[in-house]
């Protein structure tokens, strides 16, 4: 096993990084257990593309690959050689390439240490094809970059997402030469990945793709190629709770099958034990919003007078108190073709303008704290300052560096407005009326007012402000949905431990710990991939009867 290319790290007993992580992988994966095929497998040949050299993602997907193999699947990982002309892991504010810093530098040694069957991007494309794609990308008209299609794949959509992520902006101007140049690089990479994806799917005779969720070129192109071919895709999403998996079936031409069992779960009252479990969890979020992420310590402000003072609110207002929670500008767009607003910033600006007409009502804009952490290039506060000088006196903006928690603002509010955010789920748990703007997977669940157009949004606000009364919130349904989001639809992880961005432990003694019957989460993930069963806790697949087998 060659580990010489790994990034050297200072030994740390609390994390497994670089060589330390590869060494531990080799210990766990030293002996490959025999295969015990499950009967009646629907999808046998599985491709896992886009695994990067980050320890968390590698641990998450590589061990699942072994679990699938042990149950009879033929699994192949498709890895990047580091030769793409552009990649969203090479951010504009990074001083060195992600390839040399950790991604490509680590992925080969990790794959060998884990004995993970894998192929490389470069095996599926010729130099002549690469040069032809480069020529095409350089000759695409600037105003066609966002709409460009290649072999039936809308590459421009993924290029657009990639440029936003690379430059950390929610919108950009194609008059900027630097942005156009980067867009052409992403378009070249997208065409290369289209060829690579098609050829890999054909040569390996892939029946299903299992991968991390994503719309940018790095993951979105390979996913789109599979969907275009009619090959089913299962995607691993960012879970709203730490130490858990959230996976969905993605079936072209339909959107992701997001929480398919909600139609059943919504009609089932929570038990006393489930209510207690939910309340305990929400109490923990007051102090630790994310169990697997380091979080700046911010104490909850329990005294309402103190909270109002910190926000800049008067002791009392004549009308209602609204709060809104915009996401990161470059991370808040939706897959819907006609989002309510093009960007979260546009949503904020229109909402501030609306409240100029209703001075008796007050609006709190809680800017996402990651705007400061991730150093976004189009921050919300300067955006608003440039458009409203001064801000209306009934509008209060909480900057991303202010030590005020979202949960405290939510509790203080009469109405909560969200743009594709789990804050809406938290508000529903507390019995707050929720206005969902722009779609997202929490829309249509029954607990919120869903504004899918600008006109619907204005009408919803007008109705509430004119009546001076917030709409009735179905708190019991909100609690059931919160339990579904944070418990039923998530599968707890035991095979690795992490404190983002680091792996802290691989508790496995060997790969035998992933064998059928050893871990309910592993069993259910594998059944979801191999047999198309729902991805959720086994006990919640059929709440009226026990599930069978693994």
Same domain, 394 and 523: no
For residue 21, being part of any structural domain is answered with no
Clarify whether residues 441 and 308 are in a common domain. Answer: yes
At 187-237, the pLDDT tens digits run 999 999 999 999 999 999 999 999 999 889 999 999 999 999 999 999 999
Burial class (CB in 10 A: 0-12, 13-18, 19+), 267: exposed
The fraction of the chain above a pLDDT of 70, given in percent, is 89
Q: Domain check: are 318 and 374 in the same one? A: yes
Residues 399-414 have a mean pLDDT of 89
Q: Is residue 403 part of a domain?
A: yes
- At residue 331 the predicted structure's pLDDT band, cuts being 50, 70 and 90, is low
If asked whether residues 239 and 278 sit together in one domain, one would say: no
512 neighbors 520 (Cβ within 8 angstroms): no
Say how far apart CA 499 and CA 493 lie, in whole Å. 13
Verify that 240 and 349 share a domain, yes or no.
no
pLDDT band, residue 96 (cuts 50/70/90): low
Q: 455 and 513: one domain? A: no
Residue 63 has pLDDT above 90, yes or no: yes
Q: Please state the rounded mean pLDDT for residues 458-466.
A: 95
Q: Kindly state whether residues 418 and 526 are assigned to the same domain.
A: no
Q: Report the CATH number that the domain containing residue 434 is assigned in CATH.
A: 3.40.50.2000
Q: 101 pLDDT exceeds 70?
A: yes
Of 488, 510, 530, at which residue does a domain stop? Answer: 488
Q: What pLDDT does 337 receive?
A: 47
pLDDT reading at 511 higher than 60: yes
If asked whether residues 358 and 453 sit together in one domain, one would say: yes
**Which pLDDT score is estimated for 329?**
63
Q: Is residue 410 part of a domain?
A: yes
pLDDT at 122: 97
Q: Where are the alpha helices (DSSP H) in 114-256?
A: 127-139, 155-167, 177-203, 217-228
Could you tell me if residue 381 is inside a domain? yes
Tens-digit pLDDT profile for residues 121-173: 999 999 999 999 999 999 999 999 999 999 999 999 999 999 988 888 878 88
At 8, the pLDDT band (50, 70, 90 cuts) reads: very low
Backbone dihedral angles phi then psi of residue 47, each to the nearest 5 degrees: -110, 130
Instruction: Render pLDDT for 469-508 as a digit per residue (tens, 0 to 9).
Output: 999 999 999 999 999 999 999 999 999 999 888 999 999 9
Residue where the block lists tokens 């552009």: 86
pLDDT at position 545 is: 45
Phi, psi angles (nearest 5°) of residue 245: -115, 140
140: in domain: no
- Please give the residue range of the domain that contains residue 244: 34-124+206-261+491-540
Has residue 392 been placed in a domain?
Answer: yes
pLDDT for 295: 54
Q: Does any domain span residue 57? A: yes
Assigned token pair, 181? 């140049």
pLDDT value of residue 6: 41
Does residue 550 lie in a domain region? no
Q: Which of 137-146, 373-382, 538-547 has the highest mean pLDDT?
A: 137-146
Q: How many domains does the chain have?
A: 2
Q: Is residue 253 located within the same domain as residue 299?
A: no
Rounded CA gap, 176 and 68, in Å?
A: 47
Q: Are residues 226 and 241 in the same domain?
A: yes
- Range 439-446 average pLDDT: 84
Answer with the one of 472, 488, 504 that is the final residue of a domain. 488
Nearest alpha carbon to residue 447 among 462, 460, 430: 430
Average pLDDT, the chain: 88
What pLDDT sits at residue 103? 87
Tokens of residue 487, six digits: 């418990």
pLDDT at 3 over 60: no
Residues 441 and 529 in one domain: no
The answer to whether residues 378 and 234 belong to one domain is: no
Which comes out higher in pLDDT, residue 547 or 327? 327
Q: In this structure, what token pair is assigned to residue 350?
A: 């229109």
Reported pTM? 0.90
């Amino acid at each position: 096993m060659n580990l010489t290319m790994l990034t050297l790290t200072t030994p740390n007993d609390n994390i497994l990084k670089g060589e330390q992580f590869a060494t531990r992988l080799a210990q766990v994966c030293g002996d490959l257990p025999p295969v015990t095929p499950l009967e009646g497998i629907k999808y046998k040949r599985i491709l896992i593309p886009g695994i990067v050299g980050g320890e968390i993602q590698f641990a998450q997907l590589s061990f699942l690959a072994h679990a699938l193999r042990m149950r009879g699947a033929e699994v192949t990982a498709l890895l990047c050689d580091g030769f793409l002309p552009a990649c969203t892991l090479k951010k504009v504010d990074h001083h060195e390439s992600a390839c040399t810093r950790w991604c490509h530098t680590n992925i080969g040694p990790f794959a060998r240490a884990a004995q993970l069957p894998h192929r490389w991007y470069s095996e599926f494309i010729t130099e002549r094809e690469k040069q032809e794609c480069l020529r095409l990308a350089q000759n695409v008209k600037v105003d066609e970059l966002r709409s460009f299609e290649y072999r039936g794949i809308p590459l421009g959509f993924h290029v657009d997402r990639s440029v936003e992520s690379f430059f950390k902006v929610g919108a950009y101007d194609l008059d900027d030469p630097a942005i156009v140049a980067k867009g052409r690089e992403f378009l070249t990479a997208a065409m290369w990945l289209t060829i690579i994806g098609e050829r890999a799917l054909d040569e390996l005779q892939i029946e299903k793709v299992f991968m991390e969720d994503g719309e940018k070129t790095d993951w979105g192109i390979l996913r789109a190629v599979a969907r275009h071919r009619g090959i089913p895709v299962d995607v691993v999403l960012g879970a709203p709770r730490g130490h858990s998996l959230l996976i969905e079936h993605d079936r072209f031409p339909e959107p992701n099958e997001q929480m398919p069992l909600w139609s059943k779960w919504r009609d089932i009252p929570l038990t006393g034990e489930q209510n207690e479990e939910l309340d305990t969890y929400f109490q923990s979020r007051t102090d630790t919003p994310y169990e697997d992420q380091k979080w700046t310590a911010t104490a909850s402000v329990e005294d309402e007078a103190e909270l109002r003072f910190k926000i800049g609110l008067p002791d009392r207002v004549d009308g209602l108190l609204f709060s809104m929670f915009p996401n990161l500008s470059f991370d808040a767009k939706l897959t819907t073709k006609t989002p309510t607003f093009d960007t979260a910033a546009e949503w904020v600006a229109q909402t501030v303008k609306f409240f100029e007409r209703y001075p008796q009502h007050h609006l709190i804009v809680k800017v996402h704290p990651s705007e400061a952490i991730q150093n976004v290039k189009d921050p919300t506060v300067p955006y608003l300052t440039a458009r409203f000088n001064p801000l209306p006196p009934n509008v209060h903006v909480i900057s991303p560096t202010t030590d005020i928690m979202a949960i405290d603002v939510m509790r203080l509010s009469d109405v909560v407005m969200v743009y594709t955010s789990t804050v809406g789920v938290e508000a529903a748990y507390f019995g707050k009326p929720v206005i969902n703007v722009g779609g997202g997977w929490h829309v249509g669940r029954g607990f919120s007012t869903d504004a899918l157009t600008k006109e619907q949004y204005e009408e919803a606000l007008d109705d509430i402000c004119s009546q001076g009364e917030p709409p009735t919130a179905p708190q019991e349904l909100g609690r059931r949905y919160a339990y579904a989001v944070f418990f039923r639809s998530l599968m707890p992880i035991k095979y690795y431990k992490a404190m983002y961005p680091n792996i802290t432990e691989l508790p496995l003694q060997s790969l035998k710990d992933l064998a059928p019957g050893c871990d309910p989460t592993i069993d259910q993930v594998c059944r979801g991939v191999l047999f198309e069963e729902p991805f959720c806790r086994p006990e919640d697949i059929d709440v009226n009867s026990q599930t069978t087998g693994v």
